[in-house]
């Protein structure tokens, strides 16, 4: 069991930052859930967790560049992808409305979403950048997208920020906290 705890600690720590209080809480919770054998996803994400994933994803893009960073974020072993549980994934869109990457599999790179609107009629790209351009980044609830695995419609939380090295791209983390 100790090996399981260390393995999970490494995955969560890589995503949320080593030594953080949140990471310690998550690791303890995950260890308890995994060792008790409860069915379903081991962890549920909330807004704070998605914001933390967003911040770490932006740091990856700043350090590795868009292409290599996107590849890193798409590897489940790095802690940025949990499609079966909360649907956690990262995606990026340019100011022109072109998808840079999407690890949910629901859109493809170079797909033009410039005319796509949310269920409340807002332009997706405009709405995304209205949050991404805030110095601290930002997020919003959205009911426009199905969960990438279950297909269930529910409220997703989308959290975006523009990297310092890629000001024309919004890097977003997205999850369905209640799924």
Cα atoms in the 13 Å half-sphere on the side-chain side of 35:
13
Structure confidence by residue, pLDDT tens digits, 19-33: 443 333 333 323 332
Going by C-alpha positions, the residue among 162, 4, 158 that lies closest to residue 89 is 158
Identify the pLDDT of residue 178.
75
Torsion of CA 80, 84, 88, 90, to 10 degrees: 60
* CATH number of this structure's domain 44-175, picked from the four choices 1.10.3720.10, 3.30.460.20, 3.40.50.12780, 3.30.450.20: 3.30.450.20
Residue 17, token pair as written in the block:
């930052």
Cα atoms in the 13 Å half-sphere on the side-chain side of 92:
27
* Bridge partners (DSSP) listed for residue 117: 123
Structure confidence by residue, pLDDT tens digits, 107-152: 999 999 999 999 999 999 999 999 999 999 999 999 999 999 999 9
Which carries the bigger pLDDT value, residue 172 or residue 12? 172
Torsion of CA 55, 106, 176, 153, to 10 degrees: 150
Residues of the chain with CATH 3.30.450.20: 44-175
Identify the pLDDT of residue 42.
41
């Amino acid at each position: 069991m100790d090996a399981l705890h260390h393995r999970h600690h490494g995955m969560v720590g890589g995503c949320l930052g080593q030594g953080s209080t949140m990471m310690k809480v998550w690791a303890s919770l995950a260890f308890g859930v995994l060792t008790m054998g409860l069915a379903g996803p081991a962890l549920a994400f909330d807004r704070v967790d998605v914001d933390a994933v967003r911040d770490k994803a932006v740091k990856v893009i700043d350090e590795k560049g868009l292409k290599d960073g996107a590849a890193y974020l798409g590897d489940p072993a790095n802690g940025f992808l949990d499609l079966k549980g909360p649907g956690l994934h990262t995606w990026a869109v340019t100011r022109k409305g072109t998808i840079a990457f999407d690890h949910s599999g629901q859109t493809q790179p170079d797909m033009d979403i410039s005319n796509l609107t949310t269920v409340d009629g807002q332009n997706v790209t405009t709405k995304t950048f209205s949050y991404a351009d805030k110095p601290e980044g930002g997020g919003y609830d959205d009911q426009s997208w199905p969960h990438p695995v279950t297909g269930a419609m529910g409220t997703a939380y989308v959290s975006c920020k523009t990297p310092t090295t890629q000001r024309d791209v919004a890097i977003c983390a997205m999850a369905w906290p209640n799924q």
